[in-house]
Structure 1
Amino acid sequence: MSAAEKTYEGQCYCGAVKIAVTGESAAGEGYCHCKSCRSWSAGPVNAFTLWPEDSVQVTQGQELIGEYNANDRSYRQWCTACGGHVLTRHPHWGLTDVYAATIPSYPFEAGVHANYESTVLPMKDGLPKFKDFPAELGGSGELLPE
């Protein structure tokens, strides 16, 4: 870690699982509106921060992490003590999604909306609204109007 890099600490709901993300900023951050993220987060939208895999470390409670994957793109992890969500591994992109609320000290600044075609909560904030994903992440790159 260089002197310019920062570390942001976070935890599950009960604090048994602790994580640290290191870097000046996430590789991407925004809001996902897909049905899967909505169901997982129990909310109408999920705030994400994407980090290179090696920038995310579990610093406490590794043995308490449960994992579920409905497909080979998303491996969702949570604390088995409290059920609190921690992160989602995306090995096909080499990225890890640490939910913005999990790292409260990180200065979250959404840059995009992903899977906006599935939204149940339209948001007029001037950010790009991708139908699915940006092209560089394997999506159509198609933008939708606010």
Structure 2
Amino acid sequence: MSVYTGNCFCGSVEIEVSGEPEAMGYCHCESCRKWSAGPVNAFSLWKPESVKVTKGSEKIGHFMKTETSNRIFCTECGGHIMTEHPTWGVTDVYAATIPSLVFKPGLHVNYEDTVLPMHDGLTKFKDMPAEAGGSGVELPE
């Protein structure tokens, strides 16, 4: 089984993910853009039981703007670590947080909100795939 390690910006919080992600891709929604301070968020989705904090759990902060996203960050440096999505049964560990994981994006979600059009041949969902509760509508590049 594959095991990947990562940490926050200052290294106070360390995590470990095991196995393989359920999905990897890009989110273009306004919440992800604002939280990541970038035009797009690169995500890797994991089963919650595959994600462990191995150091610094006492330095973890939480922010829940909505019931669908429990955003987890380091209270020491403010570095973003992951977001738990309890309604979807997955945890988004930001791709940059686990540098040893080879990031292989498979789709774009919430592409109707994009501020950075990306022409990469991947499927662009207007919102989310139908399996994740979205419309399943695909948009052109």
Which TM bucket (shorter chain)? over 0.9
**Distance in 2 between residues matched to 1:117 and 1:42, nearest whole Å:** 18
Q: How many residues align?
A: 141
Unaligned runs of 5+ in 2: none
The answer for the alignment partner of 2:136 in structure 1 is 141
> Structure 1 residue 94: deviation in Å?
1.2
Tell me whether 1:109 sits opposite 2:91 in the alignment: no
Alpha-carbon separation, structure 1, partners of 2:82 and 2:57: 12
Q: CA deviation at 1:93?
A: 1.2
Structure 1 distance, partners of 2:76, 2:29, is: 27
Shift of 1:97: 0.2
CA distance in structure 1 between the partners assigned to 2:15 and 2:36 by the alignment: 19
Shift, 1:47, TM fit: 0.1
Which runs of 5 or more structure 1 residues have no equivalent in the other structure? none
Measure, in 2, the Cα distance between the counterparts of 1:117 and 1:74.
Answer: 20
1:58 aligned to which of 53, 56, 59: 53
TM-score if structure 1 supplies the norm length? 0.96
Compare the two structures and name the one with the higher strand fraction: 2
Runs (4 or more) in structure 1 with deviation over 2 Å come to none
Q: Distance in 2 between matches of 1:27 and 1:86?
A: 18
1:50 shift after superposition: 0.1
| Partner SS for 2:140 | coil
- Identity across aligned pairs (percent)? 62
Q: Counterpart of 1:117 in 2: which secondary structure? A: helix
**Are 2:19 and 1:7 aligned?**
no
Partner secondary structure for residue 108 of structure 1: coil
TM-score by length of 2: 0.99
Partner of 2:82: 87
RMSD between aligned residues: 0.4
Matched, 1:96 2:83: no
1:19 aligns with 2:21: no
Equivalent of 1:39, from 29, 34, 37? 34
Q: Distance in 1 between matches of 2:89 and 2:133?
A: 13
Separation in structure 1 between the aligned mates of residue 96 and residue 87 of structure 2, nearest angstrom? 24
Aligned match of 1:124: 119
